[in-house]
Structure 1
């Protein structure tokens, strides 16, 4: 009888013990899940999304004699005068907040770059349209201001070469399909999320496709950009 009673108590105790252990495990699982959700939410707060648009002034620089860069005839036989051209840009961005004053911005934008030259009073223009992917580490100072420096890879999408007002070439083959650029920027972000930014961009890669006839010289891009955007 005592043995039977002891067996019942032991069995009853094991059941309670199993319920107790199960409860502990469920509590731990819920706690860990809550922690993971909280960590995920906190990490998600580190990312901010935005959009930007603006205009730029672009030019070219060369490291060798300027030799018919736009498939146009240089009748003077001398280096023609280079001057800036007007373009635009627009795109989206993601900002990852690493520390209180340090972040990294990734941007995908469509941009127009180019330049012009005057050959004996005759204007030649080259407009190159790119899809840019930019990575810009930045530091914030004085609370609202920021400075960024990074690089971008540009994929050539469209070409438009003009002589005066006449479109003479849309062939992409004479130009490199992708280029690498260095970027420096200074910006201000308002408490509302609106930001203003000025940028300087210098091409490190040759715009010309050197394997194409008449393009066997280095031609780089210089871009000065002013843009406005909004961070959601």
Structure 2
């Protein structure tokens, strides 16, 4: 129930900012996630979603968003390589600071909700019951504004919450490269 309430709040925030200097956009890109705390190599994935960029003071903006994101990793499992794919709905709220109209840096908190899991290894697992369903984290990155409303960015997402993975203190860690389009 809590998950649904937070998602509804995110949609209300995105829909509620109908200002002249607000832009709605879509964003998609490549993920390189890891599970920190266990010997994990990256496991390529993707993310896709939308955002609302609200300009506050010239080159300062707030950007709430919602996106689907694949996280997880690869690691040794009984002498074999196991692949963990965790599927999340991320709700970031970013503050953007532009140095010049072309380049900006951003940071902010992010709430993530685990919605599905696919583990392939010595056994296949799809149950999310033993994992933490909610993750609070942060996002930092740099973006470049391109002509025609396009933008590219690189970011790093890091979890603060323990995933409760194999009774080891584990956290999400994701490098992202994205392309977006403002409307």
TM-score computed with the length of structure 2 as normaliser: 0.86
Q: Report what 2:115 is aligned to.
A: 157
Output the CA distance in 1 between the equivalents of 2:100 and 2:79.
49
2:167 to 195, 198, 216: 216
Q: Out of 87, 92, 95, which is 2:50 matched to? A: 92
For the 8 Å contact 2:77–2:121, the answer to whether it is kept is no
Question: Partner of 2:147: helix, strand, or coil?
Answer: coil
Q: Which has the higher helix share?
A: 1
RMSD of aligned alpha carbons: 1.6
- 2:50, 2:36 → 1: CA distance? 29
Gap regions ≥5 residues in structure 1: 1-42, 67-80, 210-214
Aligned partner (choices 31, 36, 41) of residue 56 of structure 1 = 31
Distance 1:89 1:216 in 2: 28
Report the counterpart of residue 171 of structure 1 in structure 2: 127
Tell me by how many angstroms 1:121 deviates: 4.8
Cα separation, 1, equivalents of 2:84 and 2:147: 40
Partner of residue 212, structure 1: none
What corresponds to 1:113 in structure 2?
A: 71
5+ residue gaps, structure 2: 1-17
Q: Partners of 2:146 and 2:20 in 1: how far apart?
A: 19
Residue of structure 2 in register with 1:144 after alignment:
102
Q: Give runs of ≥4 in structure 1 deviating > 6 Å.
A: none
**Which structure has the larger Rg over C-alpha atoms?**
1
